[in-house]
Structure 1
Amino acid sequence: MTLDLLQVLASLLAGIAVIILLTAKYRVHAFFALFLACFVTGLCVQLPVAGIIAAMKEGFGNIMRSLGFIIVLGTTLGVLLEHSGSTRVMAASILRLVGERYAALAMNITGIIVGLPVFCDSGYIVLSGLNQSLARRTRTPVVIMAASLASGLYAMHCLIPPHPGATAAAGVIGADFGRLILMGILVAVPAALVGCWWAHIAGRKIPAAPQEADTAAATEAGPAPSAGMAFMPVVVPIILIAAGAFTGAGEGAAGWRRIWQILGDPVAALSVGVLLAFAGIRRDKRQAAGALLQEAVEKAGGILVITGAGGAFGAVLAATRLGPLISEALPLGSLGLLFPFLVAALLKTAQGSSTVAIITAASIVQPLLPALGLNSPTGQLLCILSLGAGSMTLSHANDSYFWVISRFSGLEMKTMLKVYSVATLWMGLTSLAIVYILSLFLQY
């Protein structure tokens, strides 16, 4: 058994090494890295090629069945909000509410709200022009403004569906999407605020005048929707999902409960959000709807193949009997929620992508859930949140989002490492602490 365990662990490490080497050093698309890792891991444990392919097909298909619509609809919602100018309207509304004195906090809150449906890199590019303008107007160091906005977007990106990492992890581990979104918000908001706090602490020590940056993509002119129309595509789906999560529906349930249950399904809720986002687009721009939907599908396609490849890798790992062997040999029960955090943090720090880190870590952790004591529905949710916390920790020079922030804010790498990278470390540790606190109050 010891020999078998060592062989399986060596195979797993070989697969992880392939993923890190191809994505971090050679910049190979994550789909192909995960695809090759399936064969490397499977062949190292002497699985037949036909068995590896069969497992990959099953894993890929299962993920697509449960996540495909959610990823496409979530991506579409984000594209429509960017195109309509809703993201800038939300930022301006929050700034008026909070006041220019707290401009950095306003941008952090904007990042939290915009980051629900919009990917962190896209959201930062869209809002960077407003962020720079506020930095000049309020004489706030641009590093504080940049790290505050980036932290809000990043927290949502790592922890909450329909973002690809959390969505794929939920599919691999088998968690309820509605509850994951709601619990993820409870974890992500404090983490984002901690990032804003650290930006103030560290940014004050770095004298940096606001600099001009290439913000052409963020300064689209023209009328924008009202504040109500801007917020509705984000707020309404969350309300529907929350209602669905807490409304029981059975054979004898009342008709209105069944309606809430249907509308609370993430696919239905996101569909409503997409329709509301369409309503916020100016009539003279609606003829571009076909191009927008094409853009959304193209963006979603890249995410879908990565997510599916992650499911395929997880299926191959399951075929190696990794879970039973490790659980018999190691006292994983004493690690609990710390183990998924450490696995995701190691992968994130090594190869840079939060999405790849959480998908790979979820595939490793899934067969170990019984040994970790996380095999209940609530335990699975907490496990995914722990994985998300690890996937934040930490962002540095091998992360593409790191360079998006640096480029669009005109910040040097040294400044980014001192402020933003350390902020992501605090965010990850804060998220893990909150997950532990939640576990004390929840039976799992």
Structure 2
Amino acid sequence: MLYMVILLALIAFIVLATSRWQLHPFLVLLSSALIAGFAYGLPATETVATIGTGFGRILGSIGLVITLGTIIGVILERSGAALTMAETIIRLLGERFPALTMSLIGYLVSIPVFCDSGYVILNSLKNAIAIRMKVSVTAMSVALATGLYATHTFVPPTPGPIAAAGNLGLTDNLGLVIALGLVVALATAVAGMLWASRFTERDDASAGLLSNDDTLDMADPFAAFRAEHGALPGAGRAFAPILLPILLICLGSVAGFPGAPLGEGALRDTLVFLGSPVIALAAGLVVACMLLPAGGRREALQSHVSEGITAAAPILLITGAGGAFGAVLTATPLGNFLGEVLSALGIGLFMPFLVSAALKTTQGSSTVALVTTSAMVAPMLAGIGLDSDMGRALTVLAIGAGAMTVSHANDSFFWVVTQFSRMPVALAYRAQTLATLIQGVTGMLVVWLMSLVLL
């Protein structure tokens, strides 16, 4: 019980320090990591080492992705390509349901692309659509984030669901996990979209989500751009810096499947290499450079790269501090304590859901929650009547629903969404964190209903 009291006190401190006391999230998260280490009884030297390791690990995994994605976003904005993409999507899907449009894009993109990377890649497009449709950036940010989050936790080839399926003996039956996962992910994406729609009329300018320049251009961003720069780029050139990384990541993920469906040897190695997020985004950056004016391309690239690095720096620091906080919590006895308590309850599919949710909430990573919970519950499946391919597949999905519940200050995705959308932390807890709670509960209810029919 003391473990949970400490965790709740830490979360309350983060919310108060960042929202009411207006302290920078980077300092608050580092302070929280130190406090957590001492409160849970970790040795001082181990706490400091864990903070450094956690900070470096998360930046090592997504730091370059954030930087490259931010630079691409700057080029897309400055070249007018983001406006072209927004205009094209609106023409195809209409203007009646902006949150649905954004959620659907996120749902599809995150099947092959890690949700952090997907949000970075699509951030410029999301902002352009919000301005074009005169809809709150908060609503569009939550719709995109929840759409990405849905398939991220349920549908291979995302690493978490694949690892969970492997731990539960479903490596050769990923098709079943994918088929069922797409259904559950769709339900959770719809739940997130409906929650995001609550913020459609929010005043972004007063909340600080739009700069003065953004607000001035709200009336007609297309006319303002044409007046200054001339014609917008075509749809093919505009979408290429986004679609190319997504295509490469997708091919790399499929090539890495068990059984090598796209071949083995040099072909497989090449596709896996090109499909790594850093290489894929680097390729996207090369293509984005083609959007710059031929006459002053080198100077424009230099300016946009500098602007992108400047914009990425605070995001990187805050994301790294969130990783440090999560690493300290992972090193404490909190996760094992909650896992043991919940696994002894004997409540069928709800047991892996609760274990996964406890791990997700305490240490922040959905992937860690999926991998750890699946390894923990694998020996128990026969005892709770889930020792079949269908039972194991539903267990993977129950763990995935738990791995959504909830995204808050120790989750790097929370900070990616918050910082890229300029969302205040207090607002992010009301909008993004509650959305993930609703998604996780919805996902578990859908899995439970499936079990009544399929088991």
- Deviation for aligned residue 1:197: 6.4
Question: What displacement does 1:230 show?
Answer: 1.4
Shift in alpha-carbon separation, 1:8–1:391, aligned structure 2, 3 A: closer
From 332, 335, 348, the equivalent of 1:323 is 335
Within 2, Cα distance between the matches of 1:150 and 1:24?
A: 19
In structure 1, the residue matched to 2:3 is 8
Correspondence 1:46 to 2:41: yes
SS in 2 for 1:104: coil
Evaluate the alpha carbon distance shift between residue 383 and residue 425 of structure 1 in structure 2; reply closer, same or farther with a 3 A threshold.
Answer: closer
Question: How far does the alpha carbon of each residue in 1:192-250 deviate from its partner, in whole angstroms, 9 at most, with x for none?
Answer: 556666889999xx9xxxxxx96335524132221111122222222211211121489
Deviation at 1:292, TM superposition (A): 1.5
Please list every run of 5 or more consecutive structure 1 residues that lacks an aligned counterpart in the other structure.
1-5, 133-141, 162-168, 207-212, 348-356, 393-398, 407-412
In the aligned structure 2, how far is the partner of 1:174 from the partner of 1:28? Answer: 38
**CA-CA distance at 1:427 after TM superposition:** 5.8
The structure 1 residue matched to 2:133, chosen from 122, 125, 131, is: 131
Do the aligned residues in 2 keep the contact of 1:68 with 1:304 (CA within 8 Å)?
Answer: yes
* Cα deviation, residue 89, structure 1: 0.9
1:253 and 2:277 are equivalent in the alignment: no
Counterpart AA for 2:97: L
SS in 1 for 2:95: helix
SS in 1 for 2:232: coil
- For the Cα contact (< 8 Å) 1:125–1:404, is it kept in 2? no
- Name the SS for the 1:27 alignment partner: coil
CA distance in 2, matches of 1:174, 1:299: 34
**1:225 maps onto 2:236 in alignment:** no
Cα distance in 2 between the residues matched to 1:13 and 1:314: 14
**SS of the residue aligned with 1:335?**
helix
Q: Aligned match of 1:68 in 49, 63, 71? A: 63
The residue that corresponds to 1:279 in the other structure is: 290
Q: What amino acid is the match of 2:304?
A: L
Please say if 1:264 is aligned against 2:275: yes
Percent identity (aligned): 30
The aligned counterpart of 2:324 is 312
Following the alignment from structure 1 to structure 2, what is the Cα–Cα distance between the partners of residues 405 and 311?
19
- Structure 1 match to 2:97: 105
Which residue matches 2:310? 298
- Provide closer, same or farther for how the CA distance between residues 389 and 58 of structure 1 changes in structure 2, counting only shifts above 3 A: closer
> Taking structure 1 as the reference length, what is the TM-score of the superposition?
0.64
Q: TM-score, normalised by structure 2?
A: 0.63
Give yes or no for contact 1:76–1:297 (8 Å, CA) kept in 2: yes
Q: 1:66 to 1:382 in 2, by over 3 A?
A: farther
**Which residue of 352, 357, 369 corresponds with 1:336?**
352
| In 1, Cα distance between equivalents of 2:182 and 2:300 | 33
CA contact (8 A) 1:11 1:42 kept: no
Q: 2:242 pairs with 230, 234, 241, which one?
A: 234
Instruction: Say whether 1:24 aligns with 2:19.
Output: yes
Deviations 1:27-50 (A, max 9, x none): 322222221112212212333322
User: Larger deviation: 54-63 or 252-261?
Assistant: 252-261
Query: Given residue 25 of structure 1, which amino acid in structure 2 is its aligned partner?
Result: R
Contact in 2 for aligned 1:38/1:312 (Cα 8 Å): yes
Code of the aligned partner of 1:266: P
What is the correspondence of 1:164-179 to structure 2 with a 5 Å cutoff? Answer: none
Residues in 2 aligned to 1:292 and 1:65: alpha-carbon distance in whole angstroms: 23
Structure 2 residue runs of 5 or longer lacking an equivalent are 110-117, 153-157, 166-173, 202-211, 381-392, 409-416
Contact 2:251 2:275 in 1 (8 A): yes
Letter in 2 for 1:22: A
Distance across 2 between alignment mates of 1:124 and 1:323: 36
Task: Compute the RMSD of aligned alpha carbons.
Answer: 5.2
Distance 1:308 1:423, change over 3 A: closer
Match of 1:216 in 2: 216
- Aligned residue pairs total 374
Report if aligned partners of 2:76, 2:288 keep a CA contact under 8 Å in 1: yes
Contact 1:128–1:215 (Cα < 8 Å) also in 2: no
How far is 1:92 from its partner?
A: 1.5
> For the residues of structure 1 that align with 2:295 and 2:186, how far apart are their CA atoms?
37
* Matched-pair contact (CA < 8 Å) for 1:120–1:154: no
Alpha-carbon distance in structure 1 between the residues aligned to 2:184 and 2:25: 27
